[in-house]
Amino acid sequence: MGFSHPKVRTHLEQLKKLVIMKEYFKLAWRSLWRNKRRTLITAASIFFAVIIAILMRSFQLGSYSHMIHNVVETYTGYIQVQHEDYWNKKTINNTFEYSDSLAREILNTENVKDVYPRLESFALASSGNATKGAFVMGVVPEKENEMAAAAEKIVKYQLNDSLVELILEHEDVSGELADKLQKLSGQSFTSRQDLALDLFGEENPDQELLSYITDHAAIEGAYIDAGENAVLVAEKLAKFLNITTGDTLILISQGVHGISASGLYPVKGIIKLPNPELNRAFIYMPLSTAQNFFSAGNRLTSLALNVNNQDDKHVLQTKETLIDKLDKEVYAVMDWKEMNPELVQQIQSDNASGIIMLVVLYVIIAFGIFSTVLMMTAERRREFGVMIAIGMKKFKLTTVVMIEMVFIGLLGTLSGMVMSIPLVLLGYFNPIRLSGEMAQSMESFGMEPIMPMAMIDTYYLNQALVILVIIVLTIIYPVINIHRLKEIDALRA
């Protein structure tokens, strides 16, 4: 079989093309580093564009995830089983009888992790001359702690004006630390670490001085136990009522079928909830104590469900399965989006505005990248003219330039992605905590004053792909410029 055979000719042609492409790649790579400054400037513009786009989207998605976590895992759960009329008329009369068989039936549903019985209603909370409407939720303490880590939210340290004045008398408390103490007056902390972080920042604190402050700021507080005649009061509500651990709280409400409900309950602990709205009006009570208070017997307003797979698709499938299993005339099954329409709308509107901001950012990035390509093409006009004049075809020249731009794009994009990894991880595990007016502004909108970042996910690659698309579009300019190039004019440039 000779070289004239069709298969041999085909293989030879393919080999020839590979050799030519290899030469193109060599030319492109060498051409890049003939002018290192130009290459690095172009790659740097892409590098910073990738980092800015990834960080911006990460902050945005991280804030949504944090908001959902605060509301869903602290309060509603991903799915709730309720009395059929409870959601439309949230009264203590729209309750259902709890049974172990009902709990087992729900637990046997695929994707359901656990069931959390709850009895919820409203009451007037009073102490001294202060009275405020509060939301009372009866829970099984051990189970609630599994879901919402409620025991970790018990306040351990509090700073008030008189305490701050006392601490300021210490000889080592001065300057910046004194200013921070005055700004933190009225704040509560759930751990020694949080207090140290707010006072001393990331630096290693003076342990002796920190011990002096914590000894004065410490308050006794503990988590409630099942069947205990005691309550946990949300931090801001406790501040409004001017009560602390060990004080007695008066609750007045209406029980089942209009029965008068009132009682005195010792405050076992102050709890700091991440959701500002709940933190202003929330009271935890052991389930059996709440059932006695509202004369509700063995009745519940809801069963909150935790799920293994929290993806929206799986949550919806689990909800549909439960609807088919349970009696529709007695029970209603709702997912977290139905129970938190304001949160969903807030996320959707903010996401839309965030996408608009991203588009604006991409336009700025596109012009930035295009300007560097424009500069590079103008600088190399004479070089292109010489190469064409000595016999290089315009098609081959444009191929080499396109490969160069792809190399620069990949260099800038990949380096930006690699550099953003530690920044994203740092923001995920150590979210930015806001303070002062900015914190107050976020709390006024019902958001915790914290800026977390989202863990690396598909959004990470999406931002890089958008930048690569922009780079591919900018390649069009030098390609058109080379094809329109007149050798004589280029040599005179």
Using an 8 Å Cβ cutoff, are 404 and 32 in contact?
yes
Note down the domain range covering 396. Answer: 22-68+344-492
- In this prediction, residues 34-56 reach a mean pLDDT of 84
- Per-residue pLDDT reduced to its tens digit, 469-491: 888 888 888 888 888 887 777 77
Task: Give the SS3 label for residue 220.
Answer: coil
Task: Give the SS3 label for residue 252.
Answer: strand
Cα–Cα distance, 32 to 380 (Å, whole number): 12
Judgement on whether residues 49 and 143 belong to the same structural domain of the protein: no
Q: Is residue 7 part of a domain?
A: no
Q: Which pair of tokens denotes residue 93?
A: 């009369």
Q: Which band of pLDDT confidence, cut at 50, 70 and 90, is reported for residue 159?
A: confident
338, 354, 377 - which closes a domain: 338
Judgement on whether residues 434 and 464 belong to the same structural domain of the protein: yes
Cα–Cα distance, 190 to 403 (Å, whole number): 57
Query: Which residues are CB-neighbours of 399 under 8 A, at least 6 positions away?
Result: 24
Predicted TM-score of the model (pTM): 0.73
Gyration radius of the chain over CA positions = 32
What is the number of domains present in the chain? 2
Cα–Cα distance, 298 to 372 (Å, whole number): 72
Judgement on whether residues 97 and 147 belong to the same structural domain of the protein: yes
- In this prediction, residues 2-25 reach a mean pLDDT of 63
Cα–Cα distance, 62 to 40 (Å, whole number): 32
- Per-residue pLDDT reduced to its tens digit, 348-388: 888 888 888 888 888 887 887 788 778 778 887 888 888 88
338, 355, 375 - which closes a domain: 338
Judgement on whether residues 29 and 166 belong to the same structural domain of the protein: no
What's the chain's average pLDDT? 85
Q: Is residue 283 part of a domain?
A: yes
Cα–Cα distance, 188 to 234 (Å, whole number): 11
Judgement on whether residues 321 and 399 belong to the same structural domain of the protein: no
Cα–Cα distance, 467 to 146 (Å, whole number): 43
Residue 3 confidence (pLDDT): 47
Q: Is residue 44 part of a domain?
A: yes
Residue 12 confidence (pLDDT): 55
Cα–Cα distance, 196 to 159 (Å, whole number): 13
